Amino acid sequence: MNVELAFRFIGAVAFAAAGWNLGSNFELSPIQGGALPGELIGAAIGVAVGFVATPYITTRPTAFVADHARKLPVKDLVAAVLGLLISLVLSALLAIPLAILPGIFGRLLPFLGCLFLCYVGVTVFVGRRDDIFGLLGWFSNSDRDSLDHSAGALLDTSAIIDGRIADVGRTGFLAGPLVVPRFVLRELQHIADSSDALRRSRGRRGLELLDRLRKSSGVPVKIYDGDADGDGVDAKLVRLAQNLKCAIVTNDYNLNRIAAVQGVRVLNVNELANAVKAVVLPGEEIVVRVIQEGKEPGQGVAYLDDGTMVVVDGGRRHLDSDVGIVVTRVFQTAAGRMIFAQAKEHQSLR
């Protein structure tokens, strides 16, 4: 028996008792020619109402609060509780003079004052939690203190799943910590739990790569428990990068553009990969293997070791062969670098 079902039965009994007491105070009309005691009718209605309504006033609200409390950063939770306690103390002190006011004001104003002070207390303490904890000496190694002005970078979900950032980290080119916000981890976990096989595989691969990054990378990886305003992970990442003065590591084109518009520095993994590819100049002679036919008549397609596509004019007859080529043009596109070349006659190295 699960918890909700148990509470349904408890609620049914409690509402049945209440219905019995209420039914004894009313005379109900006969049913099917015979008069039923009002207590039984009230108890029957109470059982039905209690069985249906109890979860909505017990287990489901508690589950909602517990779920949001798990997602709430510890610092925000402590700040909210502290602000609430101080507000309740001030409300109790303020209620004494307010209660002596005449008429409805003496009954209503203490309650309204308590609500107002509680709202203000929680809002102020959560909003200024870092300053307040700094004065109290709490959370001395707070996330903000350890990340602010540190040349660190926030990791996006796409960069984690891509995995190349782990190799970049081992080379030592990244300075400062790599920071993974908690909401990015939640998105990664959501992808790993997806019903779609491809998304599930990508999510699990991302979790494995993140674990490998934390264990083997030369750059420290930190988990940031704080949250940020915004609808969706991308908006939160941009806001958090602005607050912490960090860059964002991603290979998501849309996030790149959105962050750039808002003045956030972006470290794009794809742009880095294109930047470190070998430079080939027009007129240079190299040897490549033609692996497929091109779109135009007589063309062949080859690839350099770094994945750069080479379109070889006259390369079709050298298919599946190593051939010497002369670079004629080099184009840089959004997708990467593309090289056009001319096959050197009588240079096939089959």
Q: Which two tokens stand for residue 322?
A: 């190593």
Residues found in the chain: 350
pLDDT band per the 50, 70, 90 thresholds, residue 226: confident
Mean pLDDT over the full length of the chain: 79
CA dist., res. 224 & res. 212, Å (int): 18
CA dist., res. 70 & res. 269, Å (int): 33
**Second-level CATH architecture of 145-275:** 3-Layer(aba) Sandwich (3.40)
Q: Are strands 309-313 and 299-303 parallel, antiparallel or unpaired?
A: antiparallel
Paired residues of 31 in beta bridges: 34
Supply the pLDDT for residue 333: 66
Cβ atoms of 214 and 221 closer than 8 Å? yes
Supply the pLDDT for residue 85: 92
Q: Which residues contact 31 (CB under 8 A, 6 or more apart)?
A: 41
Percentage with pLDDT > 70 across the chain: 84
Which of helix, strand or coil describes residue 206? helix
Supply the pLDDT for residue 149: 42
Supply the pLDDT for residue 178: 82
CA dist., res. 128 & res. 133, Å (int): 9
Tell me the longest C-alpha to C-alpha distance in the chain. Answer: 112
Which of 90-99, 298-307, 328-337 is the most confident on average?
90-99
Paired residues of 324 in beta bridges: 287
Supply the pLDDT for residue 26: 62
pLDDT top residue among 94 and 280: 94
pLDDT top residue among 28 and 66: 66
Q: Which two tokens stand for residue 208?
A: 């494995």
CA dist., res. 345 & res. 317, Å (int): 11
H-run or E-run covering 332: strand 321-333
Paired residues of 268 in beta bridges: 250
pLDDT top residue among 192 and 3: 192
Q: Which two tokens stand for residue 87?
A: 């507000």
pLDDT top residue among 181 and 23: 181
pLDDT band per the 50, 70, 90 thresholds, residue 346: very low
Domain boundaries, the chain: 3-62, 72-136, 145-275, 285-343
pLDDT in tens, 116-151: 998 898 888 888 877 787 777 776 544 444 444 445
pLDDT top residue among 227 and 292: 292
| Assigned CATH class of 285-343 | mainly beta
Kindly list the strands in the beta sheet with 221-224, ordered across the sheet, starting from the edge strand earlier in the chain. Answer: 221-224, 178-181, 153-155, 247-250, 266-268
Cβ atoms of 218 and 224 closer than 8 Å? no
pLDDT over threshold 60, residue 347? no
Supply the pLDDT for residue 33: 45
DSSP designation for 316: G
pLDDT in tens, 27-56: 554 444 445 566 787 788 888 888 888 888
Percentage with pLDDT > 90 across the chain: 2
Torsion angles phi and psi, residue 42, rounded to 5 = -60, -40
Nearest CA-CA partner of 178 in 136, 216, 215, 223 = 223
**294 to each of 53, 312, 344, how far by Cα in Å?**
69, 8, 17
Which amino acid appears at position 51 of this protein? F
**Do 145-275 and 285-343 fold alike per CATH?**
no
User: How many Å from the N-terminal Cα to the C-terminal Cα in the chain?
Assistant: 74
pLDDT, mean of residues 153-170: 80
